[in-house]
């Protein structure tokens, strides 16, 4: 009770203690903001991959046929909820006068892919419709429909980083020209094959706005059967070079990967007659594994930044030491009176160490609140800076996402709070020892 | 004189001052290291961008390009402030390697290698033809094939230490690439391109790699002979077109002044030609032309500076507390000084001088420590990589070589100045309180 009374009294009377609380709060909030922004960026990055390609991706070294048989086999595995085939190629898209873009073409099954990935929510026109997405263009039944990434059509505004949706929607129903190509088996030299360029016209049926600039700028989506007809007109069997897979909820990913690999080996050997070597070159990875190298680099950057700020925050210990040393010096008489009344040296030391812990806890608590407020409102703050200073800090073309990912990382907040409290206790330790060593007989002498 | 003596005495005798000096030194050390690395990265990035585009660019974003460029180049050639001029074709293309099923979307730049090297740092980016740039588009293996220079990341892989593995040279390898473009008419529509309908395709042979050090450039650009690129893009028809003219100024020509003169020449030239396409052309300095890329890095540097500014507040707090303590303990000194006629201003000068000494000493210690650390930073990173596999940047992902470690004097001066100002700010309130002390109260017998 006495200790609590003294802590509250020192807190009330010695205003300088607020400086140490402020310093702890500042360091804690800074570290929480840095960790939260990094981890939420990484999470958004990984989630964007899942939304784009599903949970697991099977990429074959060459195109393969009978993919529907393989998907049937996959869907018999309890761990797989749905799967869809992809045929991909690169191409050039002519959007209008002098407007040519290099794009990646994905041949997709529009309805089925919506069950594997979250791409329906990104379609500007069809996202609110109850039906599955479709490439059909109203009033143009003969025309091939296609989806185009929003940043393929236009770049976001240089100053606001916003897209001009009115002009973008005008592109719906417009015809564009795409060129691509593939190796086609040559009748004269079947072993070599020859590369053939192909062009096709398609109508923009919808626009894809994922909020991830790199995806929005890169992809054009066409019906898989049309793309196959363009690329491989002589092939009768349906072709794909990638399978995107959605796992059932709460599935053990590693176990699912093992089963998918097993199913692929059997399918490729039995139905495709592939050699073991070719089967080995098939890449089967989760969406997270595909991003792991970049995520590792981001985590390393976060670690280095935290280390730097952690070292600088070390000066908080010095600050608390100075303040507590000053309090001990100024309160020598209090300490002497306490000791003369029978308080043990350890009790006296604990008054100051405990007070240090209190300062650490109060500072950390304040820091957590500040960090939370700052992280949650980072997009608003960024807008203020843009409005006041005319400086656009966050651009999707540089940092991928249209909005700054801003989820607070509570898992990291706890170790930061504990470290800050420990730092405050360490800072208070030497002054506490000095206080414990105070000899009342020397302090309370009349002269 | 007494102010100096007392300030030095407090610095030496009051051990608590060492904490303030240590805190300042720690802060300065970290800021010197981080800012040197960041500044080095930013200035290196700027220099590479400058080298990539030359001093000034007269160009258009539109892939249709603009005509009459030969006339304007003639006008530029007569100007005494211009050292080099290079017309450039820019467009997008699809490439596919002979026998491969893979197709890649890339950017193409059609250049005259000699003119472009006189204007930009192109020749220095080449691996095999650095000293023989005129032959860069002549493949050694097959001189009849038209050569192309690949951005290095399109051709080669980087190892963990950022080194490229030049496994095959153009003299040994026979790599042919089919390059396809949409030829555009002067109105921007698709031009009919003969056999293949709407696209032009031509085969080029790999003749060299270009390493500009700019990740986006090295991973997406293929350089082609100027005339061939012009044909591919449909710009070689009568009323020949290009997308940009890169210009290098003579030494000693001020960048802004040079750009203004080019702008003025372009305005005069444009007025004589009634062509809509010329209205899309802008004259930009290399800084404006590459602003989108450079600004992002500069903003990151500014944000880091702001973050360190925030963290530095703790140091200001430490100075405040230390000074508060010293002034509390030295109130009798102040009382005596004031009783013998020292003014309030002199007391303030005494303690601000002391704060200045603390800031200066801390800054010097921090700067020397930071400088020594930076001198060995690459060795430390190598050691960490060899023993623990740790790298500051994964060189197989980031196009960064050695960690920049050249301390810039201007940056160092700003850091030291900021540290001293922080110390003075921290000492301000305690100093003000010291100046307000009344000797009659401090020197009372009951207080002694």
Q: Please report the ipTM that was assigned to this predicted complex.
A: 0.72
Asked if B317 is an interface residue toward chain A (Cβ–Cβ < 8 A), one would say yes
pLDDT of residue B46: 93
Q: Is residue B122 assigned to a domain?
A: yes
Asked if A181 is an interface residue toward chain B (Cβ–Cβ < 8 A), one would say yes
The whole-number average pLDDT for the span B415-421 is 93
* Residue that is written with structure tokens 């069809």 in the block: A126
Structure tokens at B125: 């980016």
Q: What is the H or E stretch that residue A3 is in?
A: helix A2-13
Nearest to A163 by CA among A175, A177, A148: A148
Distance in angstroms (rounded) separating the CA atoms of residues B372 and B376? 7
Residue that wins the pLDDT comparison between B437 and A83: A83
**Global confidence as pTM:** 0.79
Structure tokens at A377: 């409102």
B206 with B177: CB under 8 angstroms?
yes
B253 with B81: CB under 8 angstroms?
yes
Asked if A299 is an interface residue toward chain B (Cβ–Cβ < 8 A), one would say no
CB atoms inside a 10 Å sphere around CB B296: 17
The whole-number average pLDDT for the span B53-66 is 90
Which residue does chain B place closest to A323, by CA atoms?
Answer: B321
Start-to-end Cα distance in chain A: 32
pLDDT of residue A195: 59
- Residue B7: is it exposed, middle or buried by C-beta count within 10 angstroms (0-12/13-18/19+)? buried
pLDDT of residue B118: 95
Q: Length of chain A, please?
A: 447
Q: How far A120 CA sits from the closest chain B CA (Å)?
A: 26
State what percent of residues in chain A have pLDDT above 90.
35
Tell whether the model's pLDDT for residue A193 goes beyond 60.
no
Residue B355 shares a structural domain with residue B234: no
Encode chain B in three state secondary structure.
CHHHHHHHHHHHHCCHHHHHHHHHHHHHHHHHHHHHHHHHHHHHHHHHHHHHHCCEEEECCCCCCECCHHHHHHHHHCCCCEEEEEEEEEEEEEEEECCCCCCEEEEEEEECHHHHHHHCCHHHHECCCCCCHHHCCCCCCCCCCCEEEEEHHHHCCECCCCCECCCCCCCCCCCEEEEEECCECCCCCECCCHHHCCCEEEEEEEEEEECCCCHHHHCCEEEEEHHHHHHHCCCCCCCCCECEEEEEECCCCCHHHHHHHHHHHHHHHHHHCCCHHHHHCEEEEHHHHCHHHHHHHHHHHHHHHHHHHHHHHHHHHHHHHHHHHHHHHCHHHHHHHHHCCCCHHHHHHHHHHHHHHHHHHHHHHHHHHHHHHHHCHHHHHHHHHHHHCCCCCCCCCCCCCCCCCCCCHHHHHHHHHHHHHHHHHHHHHHHHHHHHCCHHHHCCHHHC
* Distance from the Cα of residue A179 to its chain's centroid: 33
Which residue does chain B place closest to A316, by CA atoms?
Answer: B314
Tell whether the model's pLDDT for residue A197 goes beyond 80.
no
Q: How far A54 CA sits from the closest chain B CA (Å)?
A: 23
Structural domain span for residue B330: 2-46+294-447
Of residues B189, B299, B314, nearest to A393 (C-beta)? B299
Residue B35 shares a structural domain with residue B69: no
Distance in angstroms (rounded) separating the CA atoms of residues B441 and B335? 8
For B160-207, the pLDDT digits (tens) are 777 787 766 777 777 888 888 888 888 777 776 555 456 788 889 989
- Residue B409: is it exposed, middle or buried by C-beta count within 10 angstroms (0-12/13-18/19+)? exposed
B212: CB partners within 8 A, 6+ apart: B48, B51, B52, B121, B125, B151, B218
DSSP single-letter state for residue A44: H
Residues B317, A314: C-beta atoms closer than 8 Å: no
CB pairs under 8 A between A and B: 168
pLDDT category, B447, cuts 50, 70, 90? low
pLDDT of residue B420: 93
Which residue does chain B place closest to A298, by CA atoms?
Answer: B393
Residue B74 shares a structural domain with residue B25: no
Distance in angstroms (rounded) separating the CA atoms of residues B150 and B214? 13
pLDDT of residue A106: 93
Distance in angstroms (rounded) separating the CA atoms of residues B139 and B55? 30
Nearest to A119 by CA among A244, A305, A236: A244
Q: Is residue B56 assigned to a domain?
A: no
Residue B211 shares a structural domain with residue B347: no
Residue B78 shares a structural domain with residue B204: yes
pLDDT of residue B324: 84
Distance in angstroms (rounded) separating the CA atoms of residues A417 and A363? 9
Asked if B375 is an interface residue toward chain A (Cβ–Cβ < 8 A), one would say no
Q: Is residue B197 assigned to a domain?
A: yes
Residue B309 shares a structural domain with residue B440: yes
pLDDT of residue B197: 58
A365 with A416: CB under 8 angstroms?
no
For B297-323, the pLDDT digits (tens) are 888 888 888 888 877 888 888 888 888
Structure tokens at B379: 């060795």
pLDDT of residue B177: 87
pLDDT category, A446, cuts 50, 70, 90? low
What mean pLDDT value characterizes chain A?
Answer: 86
Distance in angstroms (rounded) separating the CA atoms of residues A153 and A151? 5
pLDDT of residue B446: 58
For A116-156, the pLDDT digits (tens) are 998 899 999 998 888 889 998 877 777 889 999 999 998 88
Distance in angstroms (rounded) separating the CA atoms of residues B104 and A5? 73
Which residue does chain B place closest to A304, by CA atoms?
Answer: B392
Q: What is the H or E stretch that residue A63 is in?
A: strand A56-65
Q: What is the dihedral of CA A376, A378, A383, A385, to 10 degrees?
A: 140
A228 with A107: CB under 8 angstroms?
yes
User: A-contacting residues of B 223-252, CB under 8 Å?
Assistant: none
For A358-371, the pLDDT digits (tens) are 899 999 999 999 99
DSSP single-letter state for residue A212: B
Which residue does chain B place closest to A399, by CA atoms?
Answer: B296
The whole-number average pLDDT for the span A38-53 is 89
B87 with B73: CB under 8 angstroms?
yes
Structure tokens at A300: 């390393």
Residues A395, B296: C-beta atoms closer than 8 Å: yes
Of residues A19, A89, A313, nearest to B311 (C-beta)? A313
Residues B328, A330: C-beta atoms closer than 8 Å: yes
Provide φ and ψ at B138, rounded to 5°: -115, 100
Residue that wins the pLDDT comparison between A399 and A188: A399
Tell whether the model's pLDDT for residue A186 goes beyond 50.
yes
The CA distances from residue A103 to A59, A153, A333, B105, in Å, are 19, 11, 78, 7
Asked if B325 is an interface residue toward chain A (Cβ–Cβ < 8 A), one would say yes
Which residue does chain A place closest to B15, by CA atoms?
Answer: A322
Asked if B190 is an interface residue toward chain A (Cβ–Cβ < 8 A), one would say yes
For A244-285, the pLDDT digits (tens) are 999 998 888 999 999 999 999 999 999 989 988 888 889 999
The whole-number average pLDDT for the span B259-281 is 88
Which chain B residues have a beta carbon less than 8 Å from that of A330? 328
pLDDT of residue B119: 96
Residue B221 shares a structural domain with residue B299: no
pLDDT category, B344, cuts 50, 70, 90? confident
Asked if B344 is an interface residue toward chain A (Cβ–Cβ < 8 A), one would say no
Q: Is residue B352 assigned to a domain?
A: yes
Distance in angstroms (rounded) separating the CA atoms of residues B98 and B174? 10
Widest CA span of chain A, in angstroms? 116
End of a domain among B258, B280, B302?
A: B280
Q: Length of chain B, please?
A: 448
Q: How far B209 CA sits from the closest chain A CA (Å)?
A: 21
B100: CB partners within 8 A, 6+ apart: A183
Nearest to B263 by CA among B58, B68, B50: B58
Q: Is residue B288 assigned to a domain?
A: no
Residue B196 shares a structural domain with residue B69: yes
* Residue that is written with structure tokens 């012009």 in the block: B230
A284 with A74: CB under 8 angstroms?
no
End of a domain among B247, B280, B313?
A: B280
Q: Which of A22, A32, A92 to mutate to test the interface with B (most CBs of B within 10 A)?
A: A92
* Distance from the Cα of residue B188 to its chain's centroid: 35
Residues A319, B321: C-beta atoms closer than 8 Å: yes
Which residue does chain A place closest to B98, by CA atoms?
Answer: A195
Distance in angstroms (rounded) separating the CA atoms of residues A401 and A200? 31
Distance in angstroms (rounded) separating the CA atoms of residues A162 and B141? 50
Q: Is residue B30 assigned to a domain?
A: yes
End of a domain among B237, B258, B280?
A: B280
Start-to-end Cα distance in chain B: 27
Domain residue extents for chain A: 2-44+295-443, 67-271
Which chain A residues have a beta carbon less than 8 Å from that of B98? 195
Which chain B residues have a beta carbon less than 8 Å from that of A23? 313-314, 317
Q: How far A240 CA sits from the closest chain B CA (Å)?
A: 13
Q: Which of B186, B219, B311, B392 to mutate to test the interface with A (most CBs of A within 10 A)?
A: B311
Q: Which of B293, B302, B314, B330 to mutate to test the interface with A (most CBs of A within 10 A)?
A: B314
Distance in angstroms (rounded) separating the CA atoms of residues A416 and A429? 20
Q: Is residue B330 assigned to a domain?
A: yes
pLDDT category, A1, cuts 50, 70, 90? low
**CA angle B230-B265-B255, nearest 5°?**
90
Q: How far A227 CA sits from the closest chain B CA (Å)?
A: 14
Structure tokens at B396: 């197989």
Tell whether the model's pLDDT for residue B50 goes beyond 90.
yes
Residues A318, B313: C-beta atoms closer than 8 Å: no
* Distance from the Cα of residue B330 to its chain's centroid: 50
- Residue A380: is it exposed, middle or buried by C-beta count within 10 angstroms (0-12/13-18/19+)? exposed
Q: Total structural domains in chain B?
A: 2
Residues A182, B320: C-beta atoms closer than 8 Å: no
Between strands A80-96 and B200-210, the pairing is unpaired
Between strands A239-247 and A283-286, the pairing is unpaired
């Amino acid at each position: 009770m006495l200790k609590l009374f003294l802590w509250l009294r020192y807190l009330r009377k010695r205003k300088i203690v607020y400086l140490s609380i402020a310093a702890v709060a500042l360091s804690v909030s800074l570290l929480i903001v840095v960790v939260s922004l990094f981890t939420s960026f990484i999470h958004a990055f990984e989630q964007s991959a899942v939304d784009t390609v599903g949970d697991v991706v099977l990429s074959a070294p060459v195109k393969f046929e009978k993919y529907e048989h393989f998907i049937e086999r996959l869907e018999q595995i309890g761990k797989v909820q749905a799967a869809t085939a992809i045929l991909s190629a690169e191409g050039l898209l002519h959007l209008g006068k002098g407007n040519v873009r290099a794009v990646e073409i994905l041949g997709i099954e529009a309805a089925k892919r919506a069950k594997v990935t979250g791409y329906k929510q990104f379609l500007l026109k069809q996202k609110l419709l109850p039906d599955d997405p479709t490439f059909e263009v109203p009033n143009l039944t003969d025309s091939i429909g296609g989806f185009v990434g929003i940043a393929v059509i236009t770049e976001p505004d240089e100053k606001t980083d916003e897209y001009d949706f009115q002009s973008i929607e005008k592109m719906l129903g417009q015809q564009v020209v795409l060129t691509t190509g593939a190796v086609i088996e040559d009748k004269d030299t079947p072993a070599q094959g020859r590369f053939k360029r192909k062009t096709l016209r398609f109508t923009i049926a919808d626009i894809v706005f994922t909020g991830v600039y790199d995806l929005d700028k890169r992809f054009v989506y066409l019906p898989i059967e049309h793309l196959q007809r363009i690329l491989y007109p002589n092939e009768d069997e349906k072709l794909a070079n990638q399978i995107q897979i959605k796992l059932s909820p709460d599935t053990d990913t590693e176990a699912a990967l093992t089963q998918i690999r097993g199913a692929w080996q059997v399918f490729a050997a039995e139905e495709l007659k592939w050699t073991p070597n070719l089967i080995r070159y098939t890449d089967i990875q989760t969406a997270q594994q595909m991003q792991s190298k970049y995520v590792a680099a981001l985590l390393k950057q976060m670690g280095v930044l935290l280390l730097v700020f952690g070292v600088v925050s070390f000066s908080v210990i010095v600050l608390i030491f100075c303040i507590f040393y000053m309090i001990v010096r100024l309160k020598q008489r209090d300490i002497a009176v306490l000791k003369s009344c029978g308080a043990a040296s350890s009790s006296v030391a604990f008054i100051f160490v405990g007070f240090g812990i209190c300062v650490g806890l109060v500072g950390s608590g304040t820091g957590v609140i500040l960090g939370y407020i700052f992280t949650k409102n980072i997009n608003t703050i960024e807008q203020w800076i843009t409005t006041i200073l005319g400086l656009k800090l966050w651009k999707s073309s540089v940092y991928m996402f249209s909005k700054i990912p801003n989820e607070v990382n509570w898992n990291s907040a706890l170790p930061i709070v504990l470290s800050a409290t420990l730092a405050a206790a360490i800072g208070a330790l030497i002054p506490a020892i000095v206080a414990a060593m105070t000899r009342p007989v020397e302090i309370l002498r009349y002269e | 004189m007494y102010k100096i003596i007392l300030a030095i005495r407090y610095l030496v005798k009051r051990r608590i001052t060492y904490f303030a000096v240590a805190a300042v030194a720690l802060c300065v050390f970290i800021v010197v290291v981080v800012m040197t690395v960041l500044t080095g990265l930013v200035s290196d990035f700027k220099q590479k961008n400058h080298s990539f585009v030359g001093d000034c660019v007269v160009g258009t974003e539109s892939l249709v390009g603009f005509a009459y460029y030969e006339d304007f180049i003639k006008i530029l050639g007569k100007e005494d402030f211009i050292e080099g001029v290079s017309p450039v074709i820019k467009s997008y293309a699809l490439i596919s390697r002979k026998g491969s099923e893979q197709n890649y979307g890339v950017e193409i730049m059609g250049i005259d290698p000699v003119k472009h090297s006189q204007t930009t740092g192109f020749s220095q980016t080449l691996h095999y033809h650095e000293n023989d740039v005129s032959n860069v588009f002549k493949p050694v293996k097959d001189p009849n094939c038209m050569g192309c220079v690949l951005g290095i990341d399109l051709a080669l892989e980087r190892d963990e230490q950022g080194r490229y593995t030049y496994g095959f040279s153009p003299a040994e390898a026979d790599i042919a690439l089919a390059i396809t473009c949409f030829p555009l008419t002067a109105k921007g529509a698709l031009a009919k391109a003969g056999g293949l309908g709407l696209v032009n395709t031509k085969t080029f042979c790999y003749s060299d790699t270009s390493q500009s050090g700019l990740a986006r450039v090295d991973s997406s650009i293929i350089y082609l002979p100027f005339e061939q690129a012009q044909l591919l893009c449909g710009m070689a028809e009568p009323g020949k077109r290009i997308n940009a003219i890169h210009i290098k100024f003579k030494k000693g020509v001020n960048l802004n002044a040079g750009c203004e003169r080019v702008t003025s020449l372009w305005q005069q030239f444009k007025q004589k030609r009634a062509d809509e396409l010329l209205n899309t052309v802008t004259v930009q300095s290399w800084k404006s032309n590459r602003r989108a890329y450079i600004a992002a890095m500069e903003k990151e540097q500014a944000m880091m500076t702001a973050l360190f500014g925030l963290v530095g507040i703790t140091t200001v707090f430490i100075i405040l507390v230390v000074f508060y303590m010293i002034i509390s303990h030295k109130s009798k000194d102040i009382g005596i000084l004031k009783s013998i006629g020292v003014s309030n201003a002199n007391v303030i000068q005494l303690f601000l001088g002391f704060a200045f000494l603390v800031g200066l000493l801390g800054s010097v210690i921090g700067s020397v420590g930071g400088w020594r650390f930076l001198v060995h930073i690459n060795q430390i990173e190598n050691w960490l990589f060899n023993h623990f596999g740790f790298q500051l940047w994964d060189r197989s992902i980031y196009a960064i070589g050695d960690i920049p470690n050249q301390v810039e004097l201007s940056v160092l001066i700003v850091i030291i100045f900021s540290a001293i100002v922080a110390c003075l700010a921290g000492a301000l309130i305690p100093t003000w309180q010291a100046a307000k002390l009344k000797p009659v109260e401090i020197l009372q017998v009951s207080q002694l």
